[in-house]
Homo-oligomer: A and B are copies of this chain.
Amino acid sequence: MKPSVIDRLAAHAGTYAAAYRASAMPGTPRLSVAVVVCMDTRLSPYGILGLREGDAHVIRNAGGLVTSDIIRSLAASQHLLGTRSVMIVQHTRCGLMNTTDEEFRERLRAHAGADPDFDLGAFADLEASVRRAVELVCESPFLVHRHDVRGFAFDVETGELREVG
């Protein structure tokens, strides 16, 4: 039988382990930064930002939206593991720009026969979405460090990263 995709990914891990040096891997991020990035397949925060293992916390969900779960993750990052900066990266042509919360809810309802307890978080205006994400981090009383929180838009057609001020 042909190996499944998960079998192939797991098999790669053996090669990785052979070259792995635990001593080079601090448990707390060297750069004291957490990056929040859309899960999109075209975005690698390692490639775009030049991150290496040990540098940063990497938090990703659909959209790079700042949900309650992202605040949980950032709270753990800052309170338990000492990060002080937050960098948010959303991008052009995001899947969340192609539909609406209402359409997505109807699709999930039709599939599951029940209403989801979440909204997709669809958005039409990328810059507004990035600004909103920055605001939500800055407004959370549960975070320790909110002075260095910046938002960016990655252009999936040119590969360029632009700060949203």
A residues lining the B interface (CB < 8 Å): 4-6, 9-10, 12-22, 25-35, 39-44, 46-62, 67-73, 75-77, 79-81, 85, 87, 93, 95-96, 98-99, 104, 107-108, 111-114, 116-121, 141-142, 144, 148, 150, 152, 154, 156-161, 163
Contacts and interface: CB of A to CB of B under 8 A. Distances in A.
The A contact surface, by secondary structure, is mixed
B50 A33 contact: no
Given A73-B61, A118-B69, A142 B39 contact: no
A162 to B, nearest CB: 9
B41 A62 contact: no
Given A6-B150, A53-B41, A161-B17, A76 B96 contact: yes
A12 B49 contact: yes
A9 B55 CA distance: 11
